[in-house]
Amino acid sequence: MGHLVAHKVRNSLSRFLSSEENISLLVSTKWQACTERGHLDSTTTESSDDLVPLRNVFVDCYERMDNELRTQAQTDCEFSGTTAVTLLIQGRNLVIANVGDSRAILASRKADGLSLHVEQLTVDFKPDLPGELERIKNCKGRVFALEDEPEVARLWLPHENRPGLAMARALGDFCLKEYGLSAIPHVCFRRIDEDDEFVVLATDGVWDVMSNEEVANVVKNTESKGMAAKKVVDAAVKKWKRNFTHVRMDDCAVVCHFLNQKHSISVCYSDMSQSSSRLMNSELLHQESTTNTVAPCLDRGI
């Protein structure tokens, strides 16, 4: 069921963010404030006041998406949901927002011109993060790990040992919204400079088996940029098969956006039900105007 939720979010969230009203706000935003990386979360205001309206756009769009999932009749989202990470580019400015544990990284050239500096742009919203755990406990939700996977904290209903969600923020999963699960995204702003090479967005099926640096190096060493996302997915699948022979592989979705090559986007996802990976039509995942790009990446089944 989660893949149906992710499909709905993929098609709708970028449309919300790319509305005419929001694009107008993008163009009018005083981006001078975005000279350094800044974060605007539900509990912090670590950035210029000029960027707060833009942060609110992302919060509103994520909440609108969550509300649409709640009211739609086609898909039951009571125990199904999705993570989301969205990248918006306006000129030389990045805005990244996420819920759940899908992640975005930025790779930049080091001074030697050969190696990469890799920066994580998002927060992996696990239930045992201090701020998340406090909110969940205040809402009467429970967080604990199962005996056979003590490293994975999960979110549970107050009086039932279900559903055991391995994240503290998500779209959908309405059975837990009353008990601390949040759909409010973390929002990050960053100015693109000449050393920045590419951004990678991927679901936790990739990050569970590959480090930020490993993913960046796979992308860097791929000759055909259009194949970069598929190379990352293939590398993740190979690691899953080697390291977790008795565990079901998680689906992997990857978007690579090359910052210094106009319209250079590589997109791929794996379908573990068919044990295959495939390139996706990037038009399904991003919408472009002359100066703006919105690219979401979603976990297809949580």
User: What is the per-residue pLDDT across 53-100, written as a single tens digit (0 to 9) for each?
Assistant: 888 999 999 999 999 999 986 778 899 999 999 998 888 888 899 999
13 versus 289: which is more confidently predicted? Answer: 13
- Domain of residue 49, residue span: 2-124+183-297
| 168 lies in some domain | no
| 16 lies in some domain | yes
| 233 lies in some domain | yes
Contacts of 104 (CB under 8 A, 6+ apart): 85, 87, 96, 98, 120, 121, 122, 199, 200, 201, 297
Determine the average pLDDT of the residues in 263-268. Answer: 76
CA dist 167 and 152 (Å) reads 9
> What is the model's pLDDT at position 262?
65
Confidence band for 280, pLDDT divided at 50, 70 and 90: very low
Q: Is the pLDDT of residue 298 over 80?
A: no
> What is the model's pLDDT at position 34?
53
> What is the model's pLDDT at position 196?
94
| 155 lies in some domain | no
> What is the model's pLDDT at position 32?
54
| 114 lies in some domain | yes
Q: What is the pLDDT of residues 140-193, one digit of tens each?
A: 999 999 998 899 999 999 999 999 999 999 999 999 999 999 999 999 888 888
| 25 lies in some domain | yes
Confidence band for 282, pLDDT divided at 50, 70 and 90: very low
Contacts of 157 (CB under 8 A, 6+ apart): 141, 142, 163, 175, 176, 179
**Cβ distance 201 to 297 under 8 Å?**
yes
41 versus 245: which is more confidently predicted? Answer: 245
> What is the model's pLDDT at position 10?
86
Distance of CA 106 to the CA centre of its chain: 13
Terminal Cα distance for the chain, rounded: 8
Contacts of 143 (CB under 8 A, 6+ apart): 127, 128, 133, 136, 137, 153, 154, 155, 156
| Residue 281 burial (C-beta neighbours within 10 Å; 0-12, 13-18, 19+) | exposed
Lowest mean pLDDT among 5-9, 35-39, 227-231, 237-241: 35-39
**Tokens 């909440």 found at:** 63
| pLDDT averaged over every residue in the chain | 82
Distance of CA 190 to the CA centre of its chain: 16
Confidence band for 249, pLDDT divided at 50, 70 and 90: confident
Amino acid found at 10 = R
> What is the model's pLDDT at position 273?
43
Q: What is the pLDDT of residues 8-56, one digit of tens each?
A: 898 899 888 888 777 777 666 665 555 444 554 433 334 556 778 888 9
In the chain, pLDDT over 90 holds for what percent of residues? 51
**Tokens 């210029």 found at:** 48
Q: Is the pLDDT of residue 213 over 60?
A: yes
Handedness of CA 182, 300, 205, 103 (dihedral sign): negative
pTM: 0.84
Tally of domains within the chain: 1
For the chain, percent helix, then strand, then coil, each to nearest 5? Answer: 35, 30, 40
Reading the block at residue 237, the tokens are 């699948």
Q: Report the CATH number at residue 53.
A: 3.60.40.10
Q: Which of 256, 260, 198, 205 is nearest to 226 (CA)?
A: 256
Helix boundaries (H) for 75-208:
130-138, 204-207
| 152 lies in some domain | no
CA dist 239 and 250 (Å) reads 12
| 54 lies in some domain | yes
